[in-house]
Structure 1
Amino acid sequence: MSMKLMYITNNPYKAKVAEKAGIDWIFIDLEKIGKDERQKNLDTVKSKHSIEDISKIKKNIISSELLVRINPIHNNTENEINEVISAGAEIIMLPYFKTKEEVDYFISKVNGRVKTCLLLETSEAVENLDSILELKNIDYIHIGLNDLHLSYKLNFMFEPVSNGTVERIIEKIKQKNIKYGFGGIAKIGEGTLPAERILAEHYRLGSQMVIISRSFTSKEDSNSRYEEDFIQGIQNLRNYENVLTTKDNKYFEKNKQKVKNIVNEIITTK
């Protein structure tokens, strides 16, 4: 089964192209609280999306679902949840939680009106995962590698994959039959850690969703080949997924070791 692909944009044209390419979830990112401080030294996207973008994108897509990442739990969370649901969110993602109580509060305020997705990205959330997984009405869990590796004071984003942390988390989630995924992925043929290697790890671990990285789009918005390039990039990814369905356990175990070796090489050069 193909993984659900998420693409972060508040641009109606890009959302339409993404939908045409087969992106499952268009991702509006409202998270701002604390993010700049946590990721100040990383080359990560600091979103400038707004509540108004939700309805703007919603009326421009048909088959893709609209996912909205809100802020971590704060004193205006309930109002924020109500606003994004009113604007048209179909899935709400809670980032940077640490406790069962935070997740319980989030779920209670969503109150079954839309689907819920937890963005698991703190060492505290990993420690509290058993109790968090006792809660009902968690539809999806995505493991966020940027903040997770920072939370563990690691040097490279994919270390939680290579050192077994992600696998241990997944083993617990699997027992609850909750859909899960982790991290992002570059174009096939690209990436410091090649996208093919990462995608094979997704398949070995039974991952069901991944965020499409910025490398799928041209840095020049005026590029007339934008649509063609994006659609081709997604098609290449889907084609490689089909290749992976033909591989056996021996292949995936060898790939796991290769990923570990490449990550170790990257760490030693940092």
Structure 2
Amino acid sequence: MIYKFITNNPELARYAVSCGVQRIFVDMEYLGKEERQGHIDSHKARHTLTDLGNVRKAVPDAELMVRINPVHERTPAEVADVLKAGVDVVMLPMFTSAEEVAKAGALISGSARFSLLLETPQALTRLDEILELHDMIDEVHVGLNDLHLGLGLDFMFEVLSGGLVDVIAGKVHKAGIRFGFGGVARTGEGAVPAELVLGEHVRLGSEMVILSRTFHQNARSVEELKSKIDLGKEIEKLDACLNGFKNGDKSLLEDNRQNLIAAVRSVVREKAIA
């Protein structure tokens, strides 16, 4: 499992890698984010090209991913800048069509791996056409937050419990592309317990997950993070949970799926009452 850690702090990035994080995630997306997510508690930091360069220097041997803006008039310059900074993976968010994917993919042109953040109803509907571009796509990560907002749902994990992620995973795997989804809290925590979500990662053949802000309590420095959690031990707990599901039988995964569905329905009911 590739754990993605979002930060623009070079020292925090270096520490996260030393604790077992495989991929540092610098987030340069800002176009439209406030309008979409301004009413919810989500990651909205605006990282910069300077941040990207500083983090690259701090973790020269780790995977470095950058989320650029959705396709717009400055996309060619934006892609050129992040490639020059030496990123390993470029993530395209909020795409709605195969044409947008093809444009960004052509700009990257194999100079970095190309990651799609599938998070719009349009992209979901047009997924078959988008995956026809499989030769230029290296991975697909389902963004539960924006996708649930776009679908008018009440809770992001409804996308998972309702079976939509199953459909996406099946299509992505068939295209021979690496697949992942969402974020995860620490074991024993989360509105839906992290263990239930991790079981679904195993059942669906996911290889990537974001360590959520709740996972590291939105720490902005190494000192702050160390004062809150032992990052290395928490990652070991995730690994142990994943291995438990991988070494179990299909009935374990099916029982976990049913428990996740029940947990999600409970959260949705509570939101309706509130």
TM-score bracket for this pair, using the shorter chain length: over 0.9
Native 8 Å contact 2:245 2:252 kept in 1? no
AA in 1 matched with 2:103: Y
Percent of pairs with identical residues: 41
- How high is the TM-score relative to the length of structure 1? 0.96
Deviation digits for residues 113-143 of structure 1 (CA, Å, limit 9, x no counterpart) = 1110000000100111011000121001000
1:235-254 equivalence runs, <5 A: 235-254=236-255
Q: 2:88: which partner in 1?
A: 90
Q: 1:152: which partner in 2?
A: 151
The CA distance in 2 between the partners of 1:109 and 1:141, in whole Å, is 18
Native 8 Å contact 2:185 2:194 kept in 1? yes
The CA distance in 1 between the partners of 2:99 and 2:173, in whole Å, is 22
Q: 2:176: which partner in 1?
A: 177
Native 8 Å contact 1:92 1:117 kept in 2? yes
Q: 1:168: which partner in 2?
A: 167
Give the number of equivalent residue pairs.
268
The CA distance in 1 between the partners of 2:60 and 2:236, in whole Å, is 20
The CA distance in 1 between the partners of 2:76 and 2:225, in whole Å, is 42
What SS does the aligned partner of 1:177 have?
Answer: coil
The CA distance in 1 between the partners of 2:147 and 2:192, in whole Å, is 18
Tell me by how many angstroms 1:40 deviates. 1.2
Deviation digits for residues 199-222 of structure 1 (CA, Å, limit 9, x no counterpart) = 000000000100001123245644
Deviation digits for residues 172-230 of structure 1 (CA, Å, limit 9, x no counterpart) = 11111100100000001110100000000000000010000112324564447349611
The CA distance in 1 between the partners of 2:210 and 2:218, in whole Å, is 18
Q: Does 1:190 align with 2:189?
A: yes
What SS does the aligned partner of 1:92 have?
Answer: strand
Q: 1:49: which partner in 2?
A: 47
1:101-180 equivalence runs, <5 A: 101-135=99-133, 136-180=135-179
Q: 2:232: which partner in 1?
A: 231
Tell me by how many angstroms 1:11 deviates. 0.5
What's the Cα RMSD here? 1.4
Q: What are structure 1's unaligned runs of at least 5 residues?
A: none
The CA distance in 2 between the partners of 1:226 and 1:21, in whole Å, is 15
1:191-270 equivalence runs, <5 A: 191-218=190-217, 221=221, 222-223=223-224, 225-226=226-227, 229-270=230-271
The CA distance in 1 between the partners of 2:116 and 2:269, in whole Å, is 32
Native 8 Å contact 1:217 1:229 kept in 2? no
Q: Does 1:4 align with 2:2?
A: yes
The CA distance in 2 between the partners of 1:77 and 1:8, in whole Å, is 22
Native 8 Å contact 1:180 1:209 kept in 2? yes
AA in 2 matched with 1:24: Q
What SS does the aligned partner of 1:225 have?
Answer: helix
